[in-house]
A and B are shown apart, each in its own frame.
Chain A
Amino acid sequence: MLIDVRDAVFGYGEREVVRVNALQLRAAQALGIFGPNGAGKTTLVRGLSGLLRPLRGSVQRQAALRIGYLPQYRAIDLNWPMSGLDAALLAISARRRFGWIGSQKRKAREMMERLGVAHLAPKRFATLSGGQQQRILLAGAMASGPQVLILDEPTDGLDVHSREKLLGLLKEFAAAGLAVVMISHEIEDLTCLCDTVARLHPADDPEHPAHVEVITPTMLTLQVTGAAS
């Protein structure tokens, strides 16, 4: 078990945002996070990753758990002059003293090779397509050797081909033992990649926290399509 959450409430100060009865994350598991805007998806992810302590309850994490984060390509400020390799090295530089890379460039290049974006290493990041940018960022995140990878709307804005390619790669990594936590509004993406979904239900009273229901992607599809019809 990599992360085990029991009867936890996450929030800020006195304000309770999300309540979780039980949620586990294991190696090779792909967990989707689904819910309306403002329901507390980011708060839940911050709680799972340890950036936010629970106000109540417990969160157990495996010792020295390495958690990686895949930034959304749309969140990257393209005014910064950087090459594809510089972008891929972002995640590695986070774990290096003063951000100095040293011999770690090799790891990023190998992962870029594996993901078919090695030829984009010297290109200016801003000139690449969204799909290429996202794959470069994924290569960087994976090169830092995470046990858990957190993704925030990774397919948002991508064309169908790029989306399929990205999800395919994530499936491969998950099959090889990586635990994936993906926030997404896209039910198709969650169904394609995830084996479990944490669905957030906002409380009727805004003073009360949203609660998390752990379901299968099939159940999520039924719930959402059923509600729509």
Chain B
Amino acid sequence: MSWNDWIVLIRLFAPSLKTAAALSLAGSMVGLFVLLRGEALMALALPQVVAIGAAIALRYELEGWKSFPPPIAVALAALVYFVLAKRRGIGAWVLPSFYVAGMCLSFLLIANKGQEVSRMQTLFTGIDVAVTDERALVVPPILLLVAIVCAGLWRRWLLIAQAPAAAELAGLNPRRWDALFLLLLTITTLLGTDSLGIVMVLSMLFLPPATVLPWAQRIPIALVVSGILSLIFLAAGFVLSNQMNWPLSQTIGGVGFVALVISHVLAHVLA
């Protein structure tokens, strides 16, 4: 492909690429703390839960902005359920159930509706997703805000994880900060899943931070490198997917996983 062909292609996919870039940054920043806080299961379950809301929207043929409330309502309900379960010490039991429920209920809600089933499969696989211009105006700024808030509060996440008693004595409520973090994660997965599909969200949440962490000395540097890596994965995935005629989300995931393996092997060898 010539440079002109690439420019035409980038213009054609501009709304999707813009949204994917914002998701890369938000996902890689939030994902770093997801891994450190040991909340990977929550991150895996949330996109599945969002799919239930998307299925409700499909079932009732809600279009445009009307398609937003069901995924938001379902994600918030799941979040409240999880926070309450966590307080009772059974959070880890609830999350796998969310994962299964998302996979089952989302398809049951649209059973026997061929076109909707096809759209739901698109949401799960991330193949052939396209972001509209309207959505590309709304979603990226929100995701960038999530990235900024998450990165700006890095010392707070560190404190709540390492010395919750010191936080409490200083008048902070660790549970509220936990809930805020989960809210940031929910917004990322909600907007990312609804716009670009589950595969892209999970790739950006897990792969860049997991690639960086074996080398990281401090959190701010890890955040910056994780963000840069996520954009590199996106760019490499975009180029490769077009050259090889592969689906974009899966190509990004594949590129990210190869980088992760190389990073871990090198870290092990050089240690």
Partner-B contacts on A (CB < 8 A): 49, 51, 67-69, 71, 75-77, 79-83, 86-87, 89-91, 93-95, 98-101, 124, 141, 150, 152
Contact = CB atoms under 8 A, between A and B. Distances in A.
Contacts of A80: 36, 158, 161-162, 219
Interface in B188-222: 213, 216-219, 222
Nearest to B214: A81
A124 to B, nearest CB: 5
A83 B155 contact: no
A94 B163 contact: yes
Contact of B158 (A51, A67, A82): A82
Interface stretch (B18-26, B42-50, B167-175, B260-268): B167-175
Across the A-B interface, give the 6 residue pairs with the lowest CB-CB distance, nearest first. A99-B155, A94-B170, A81-B216, A99-B156, A69-B166, A71-B163
Contacts of B222: 81
B161 A77 contact: yes
A14 B270 CA distance: 56
Say what secondary structure dominates the interface of chain B: helix
B36 A91 contact: no
A77 B155 CA distance: 14
Interface string B74-108: 00000000000000000000000000000000000
B69 interface: no
Contacts of A77: 36, 161-162
Interface string B150-185: 001111101101110111111010000000000000
Contacts of A150: 165, 169
Contact of B162 (A51, A71, A83, A101): A71
Given A98-B152, A99-B153, A90 B159 contact: yes
Contacts of B156: 93, 98-99
Contacts of B155: 86, 89, 93, 99-101
A101 B154 CA distance: 11
Contacts of A75: 162
Contacts of A90: 158-159, 162-163, 166
Contacts of A101: 155
Contact of B217 (A67, A71, A124): A124
A102 to B, nearest CB: 11
- Contact-size category for B: 20 to 34
B218 A86 contact: yes
A94 B158 CA distance: 10
Contacts of A79: 36, 213
Contacts of B152: 98, 100
A94 B161 contact: no
B166 A91 contact: yes
A71 B164 CA distance: 9
Given A75-B162, A87-B162, 8 more contacts: A77-B36, A90-B159, A90-B163, A90-B166, A91-B170, A93-B155, A93-B159, A99-B155
B216 to A, nearest CB: 4
Contacts of A69: 163, 165-166, 169
Contacts of B165: 69, 71, 150, 152
Q: Which residue, A49, A67, A81, has most C-beta atoms of chain B within 10 A?
A: A81
B169 A68 contact: yes
Contacts of A89: 155
Nearest to A100: B155
Q: Which residue, B152, B158, B163, B167, has most C-beta atoms of chain A within 10 A?
A: B163
A99 B170 contact: no
B132 to A, nearest CB: 35
Contact of A98 (B153, B163, B167, B213): B153
B162 A76 contact: yes
A69 B154 CA distance: 20
Nearest to A123: B217
Contact of A94 (B36, B172, B218): B172
A31 B167 CA distance: 22
Contact of B159 (A67, A94, A152): A94
Nearest to B215: A81
Q: Which residue, B154, B156, B166, B219, has most C-beta atoms of chain A within 10 A?
A: B166
A139 to B, nearest CB: 14
B146 to A, nearest CB: 15
A71 B152 CA distance: 24
A68 B168 CA distance: 10
